[in-house]
Amino acid sequence: MMFLWLFVIGGIIWYLTVKGSPPRNNNGYRSSQAKEILDQRFAKGEIDESTYQKMKIRLEEEER
């Protein structure tokens, strides 16, 4: 009976860590979200143009 509960709890932990985490760069979801945040920061004036360009290039390199 104890092994059954360990199996159930282990399955829940596995599901939350594997299925509950946001997608990686494979489908572009995280990188597009990062690009949107970068665009917003530049539009608000939080970062200057040179910083924006450097960060944008870094994001594009990570997509590859």
Provide the pLDDT for residue 22: 58
Task: For CA atoms 17, 20, 28, 30, give the dihedral sign.
Answer: negative
Provide the pLDDT for residue 61: 85
**C-alpha to C-alpha distance for 3 and 49, rounded to whole angstroms:** 58
Token readout for 8 is 């159930």
Question: Which residue stretches of the chain have pLDDT < 50?
Answer: 27
Provide the pLDDT for residue 50: 95
In a domain, 47, yes or no: yes
In a domain, 3, yes or no: no
In a domain, 36, yes or no: yes
| Predicted structure pTM score | 0.53
Provide the pLDDT for residue 51: 94
Cα–Cα separations (whole angstroms), residue 48 to 33, 37, 39, 51: 20, 14, 11, 5
Residue 37: give the domain boundaries: 24-64
Provide the pLDDT for residue 25: 53
